Structure 1
Amino acid sequence: MARWGPLAVQRRAAGYTQEQLAQQMDVDRTTVHRWEKGTATPQPWQMPKLAQLLKVSAAELRSLLPGSTVAVAESAPSPEGGGAGRSEVLKQQGQDEQMNKPVASPLAHVGGLVTDWLSVNFSGGASTAVLPVTEADIHVAEGMLDMFRQLDHTHGARQYRRQVSSYIDNEIEALLRRPVSDEQVARRRARLTAGFCELAGYQAIDTGSPDQAQAYYQRALTLTAVSNDQAYSAYLVAVNLGHLALHCGDPETALRWASSAQAAAGTAVSPAIRAAITAVVARANARMRREREATRLIVQAEMLVDSADRQDEPDWIRYFNHAYLADEAAHCLHDLGRAPAARSQLADALNGVGEDRVRRRAIDAALLAATWLRSGDLDRACAAGREAVAYAARTGSGRCIERVAGVLADVQVHSDYAPVRELREFARAVLPEADDVALTLLGGA
């Protein structure tokens, strides 16, 4: 036993192999191995969960880490890259009692976040033996981000979430620890890391981990201060954090965040970004049954999309076209009880989104089924439900499973109707997880 370090000893005492602990932490086994060797340390937002799994306090965990420098999250930021400037946000996230609370208004923290990240050393004060990060390094990592995003759109988060997390913990953190060739590269590196954190946050929501999504989104927001990207900051606050609040059933918070981002962005950001932000403000109003305001905002967003020139938009917002706005409008109209109008928008959404956006198509097909059910047309509800099941079965998306399960539970009151029985049988055959969730929603019936 003497050959094992203290972290490995505690891990074994808690009953985990390296592989099992890696699965629980959503990282690669090699990451756990590096923690135990002391060649890497857990990220601050990973510490609460790791301490819980190992059955130790936060202070005890720090003492188990070989040569731990995790205390940097509670003191002054380090001069370069990886740990620089996360201190105040991640210290707050690193306390167990804070992890289940809603995110405090992120715009209120921006001033502190900017100050916190001013310690980034653009001049590259590290040893000259370490090669500086160049434009080519950033370009390679940006290609990986594009690939992971496409895989996520097509397959959902479950298959690739661990790979994304591992890439952040290993490749991106390695980039952050190296000096940079110039200030422009430093800004691109910060923007790249924010993009990876945004994707990881979105995947966390997709796999049922909203607290982890909150931590990733806040880190991404912190990084936008380094890249000096006000447009992306506003997008993160409104679209990512706003949708997270809606997902958690808190439209009031979503409205506050999205409205604050809308005001902060003003007219300085591009039309597509303003449209995406405005759509979230509309979604929050619709969830709160403010029909007139939600309708006005959707019309405003449509005008903004009409005025957008795709070539002039940042590459990360070019996805937001009329089809994506139609999806947002359909959700608004469904929440307002306007099923026929929602179906009209869903037709535009499904016709306009690419076949490779499988998760989006599954969610929209499930919503279409719900609108037909609300209108009392069981045949069309079951037909749309079957499409939703087929799309969802091609993804590893927890949100798709939840949406399909909701449809299956809602139609069960008509279980004596043949199309309903056929839909349930099809779901049991190709998407049993959704059928299991539906049974739970029905109280085991």
Structure 2
Amino acid sequence: MTRWGRLAVLRRAAGYTQEQLATAMDVDRTTIHRWENGKATPHPWQMPKLAKRLKVSQDELRSAVFGNPDADCAPRSGAEAERGESAAAAPSQPGPGITWQGAASELGDVGPRLATMDALISDWASVNSNTPPPALSLWVTEEDVIVAEGMLGMFRQLDHTHGARQHWRQVSSYIDTELEGLLRRPAVNEQVARQRAQLTVGFCELAGYQAVDIGNPDRALEYYQRALALTTTTGDQAYGAYLVAANLGHLALHRGNPETALRWASSARAAAGTTASPATRAAITAVVARANARMLRESEATQLILEAEKLLEAASVEDEPTWIRYFTHAYLADEAAHCLHDLGRAPDARIQLADALGGVGKDKVRRRAIDAALLAATWLRSGDVDQACAVARDAVAYTARTGSGRCVERVAGILADLQTHADYVAVRELREFARAVLPDADRLAVMLAGGS
């Protein structure tokens, strides 16, 4: 029996069809088929999950996939390094100075994957930005990369407009099939190989962001790990710093760990230095401000937001990398508004939210939903229930147009907070509206309010 045949046997023994295992692994069925017929192999970051699904040890799985249990220790080719297969694998132990017990205690219920990111980020931050990146294997054509870049742009726009729920499987499937196909084919020169690696970073960042949006932070970390490893391979220190701060830092904030967010974003800020573009530095600085505000350090947060504003004033869109051009004054106003809300300064937060909502495009439905929910929260904090309900209705309407789990959570939080005014007419009407157009948020609000 071939080693690929053994993988199929393990799947059947675990009681899965190819379609069922694909669903359990969050990949397309064709990916499972390619694993079993030897045309592709699982990434290292997929192996622990696959072993768990197939109810075998990781050594047994490696034997089935590679033909011997020590195959993952063999030297990697340049192509594998470009795909981040060795660097993106989660370390089996924390790095120097970090213990599992200390990390788990600090991070609470975030999970072991988030704890291991400390070691990964520490290793990444220690890389000398002046060290030339390793040579990449040469494969593919520039036209292929341009087509894939067009797909990435389309997926990003769909994500902005509709949220992740409708399209995350398509993005994941594209990465596992079309993008992996590009990574396995020969390229014409080193520049094309580097562009392809940078394109892969963009796809992994988007996939990670979407995983957060659908409520799967562990999967998000897998994608972010791969993206971060690739920025080191390509020597893109600025993009790596952005990933650490804007993606991983925001994820830590979302999971209620401002201390971790502050440490990671500060590490990114130091690593970016003055070589990153002004908009990149502004976005990173804003995350450091958010973490300080969450910890009620008002002076530090205020100073950092002012610094971010000066940096953004110096930015020129045409000189910025494409992946950061979205970060305009409207997005910085959103970050400032979150800081002010966390600091208990509701009226000032509303001023910033007016700029945020006025400056973001109408196609950015998820952003508008999040900002409307925050605006409703500021009105409720100020004691104006009517205004809170009016703006919350907008948040419900925006969220109903997306598949964003984060937006549902934000709206549900407002509905739950309004439950103390349940007999008020405006609140009853809002709940009826939410029940009709956004039942997920209404159900979650009931749970958050203790079943009332």
Note whether the superposition's TM-score is higher than 0.5: yes
Match of 2:429 in 1: 422
Match of 2:78 in 1: 79
1:275 aligns with 2:282: yes
Q: Secondary structure at the match of 1:90?
A: coil
> Whole-Å Cα distance in 2 between the matches of residues 200 and 208 of structure 1?
12
Match of 2:108 in 1: none
> Whole-Å Cα distance in 2 between the matches of residues 229 and 292 of structure 1?
32
Q: Secondary structure at the match of 1:92?
A: coil
Letter in 1 for 2:117: V
Q: Secondary structure at the match of 2:16?
A: coil
Structure 1 196/49 Cα, relative in aligned 2: closer, same or farther at 3 Å?
Answer: same
Q: Give CA deviations for 1:140-166 in whole Å, capped at 9, x if unaligned.
A: 111111111111111111111111111
Unaligned stretches of 5+ in structure 1? 125-131
Structure 1 93/37 Cα, relative in aligned 2: closer, same or farther at 3 Å?
Answer: farther
1:394 aligns with 2:401: yes
Whether contact under 8 Å (2:83, 2:230) holds in the other structure is no
Deviation at 1:42, TM superposition (A): 1.5
Match of 1:336 in 2: 343
Deviation at 1:91, TM superposition (A): 4.8
Structure 1 213/72 Cα, relative in aligned 2: closer, same or farther at 3 Å?
Answer: farther
Deviation at 1:100, TM superposition (A): 5.6
Give the alignment of 1:224-239 within 5 angstroms: 224-239=231-246
Of residues 365, 371, 374 in structure 1, which corresponds to 2:372?
365
Match of 1:101 in 2: 115
Whether contact under 8 Å (2:396, 2:434) holds in the other structure is yes
Q: Secondary structure at the match of 2:326?
A: coil
Match of 2:8 in 1: 8
Match of 1:51 in 2: 51
1:437 aligns with 2:444: yes
Structure 1 84/232 Cα, relative in aligned 2: closer, same or farther at 3 Å?
Answer: closer
Deviation at 1:79, TM superposition (A): 3.0
Letter in 2 for 1:345: Q
Deviation at 1:362, TM superposition (A): 0.6
Deviation at 1:348, TM superposition (A): 0.6
> Whole-Å Cα distance in 2 between the matches of residues 93 and 389 of structure 1?
43
Structure 1 70/344 Cα, relative in aligned 2: closer, same or farther at 3 Å?
Answer: farther
Whether contact under 8 Å (1:282, 1:298) holds in the other structure is yes
Match of 2:363 in 1: 356
Deviation at 1:26, TM superposition (A): 1.3
Deviation at 1:377, TM superposition (A): 0.6
> Whole-Å Cα distance in 2 between the matches of residues 107 and 136 of structure 1?
34
Deviation at 1:107, TM superposition (A): 4.1
> Whole-Å Cα distance in 2 between the matches of residues 91 and 327 of structure 1?
33
TM-score by length of 2: 0.90
Structure 1 332/71 Cα, relative in aligned 2: closer, same or farther at 3 Å?
Answer: farther
Deviation at 1:71, TM superposition (A): 5.5
Q: Give CA deviations for 1:209-265 in whole Å, capped at 9, x if unaligned.
A: 112211211211111123222211111111111111111211111111111211222
> Whole-Å Cα distance in 1 between the matches of residues 116 and 296 of structure 2?
22
Whether contact under 8 Å (2:22, 2:29) holds in the other structure is yes
More off after superposition, 394-403 vs 67-76: 67-76
Whether contact under 8 Å (2:87, 2:229) holds in the other structure is no
Whether contact under 8 Å (2:62, 2:71) holds in the other structure is no
Deviation at 1:20, TM superposition (A): 2.1
> Whole-Å Cα distance in 1 between the matches of residues 164 and 275 of structure 2?
33
Letter in 2 for 1:54: L
Whether contact under 8 Å (1:78, 1:119) holds in the other structure is no
Match of 1:31 in 2: 31
1:408 aligns with 2:422: no
Of residues 111, 133, 146 in structure 1, which corresponds to 2:140?
133
Whether contact under 8 Å (2:400, 2:438) holds in the other structure is yes
Of residues 177, 182, 185 in structure 1, which corresponds to 2:184?
177
Unaligned stretches of 5+ in structure 2? 95-110
Match of 1:263 in 2: 270
Whether contact under 8 Å (2:372, 2:392) holds in the other structure is yes
Deviation at 1:84, TM superposition (A): 5.4
Q: Secondary structure at the match of 2:118?
A: coil
Whether contact under 8 Å (1:172, 1:193) holds in the other structure is yes
Q: Secondary structure at the match of 2:383?
A: coil
Q: Secondary structure at the match of 1:87?
A: coil
> Whole-Å Cα distance in 2 between the matches of residues 390 and 139 of structure 1?
36
> Whole-Å Cα distance in 1 between the matches of residues 283 and 40 of structure 2?
38
TM-score by length of 1: 0.91
Match of 2:328 in 1: 321
Deviation at 1:408, TM superposition (A): 0.8
Whether contact under 8 Å (2:330, 2:357) holds in the other structure is yes
Match of 1:196 in 2: 203
Whether contact under 8 Å (1:372, 1:378) holds in the other structure is yes
> Whole-Å Cα distance in 1 between the matches of residues 69 and 63 of structure 2?
10
1:62 aligns with 2:69: no
Deviation at 1:60, TM superposition (A): 2.2
Deviation at 1:74, TM superposition (A): 3.3
After the TM superposition, list the runs of 4 or more consecutive aligned residues in structure 1 that deviate by more than 6 angstroms.
Answer: none
Structure 1 82/102 Cα, relative in aligned 2: closer, same or farther at 3 Å?
Answer: closer
Deviation at 1:440, TM superposition (A): 1.5
Letter in 1 for 2:402: T
> Whole-Å Cα distance in 2 between the matches of residues 363 and 73 of structure 1?
43
Structure 1 339/60 Cα, relative in aligned 2: closer, same or farther at 3 Å?
Answer: same
Whether contact under 8 Å (1:86, 1:219) holds in the other structure is yes
> Whole-Å Cα distance in 1 between the matches of residues 246 and 184 of structure 2?
30
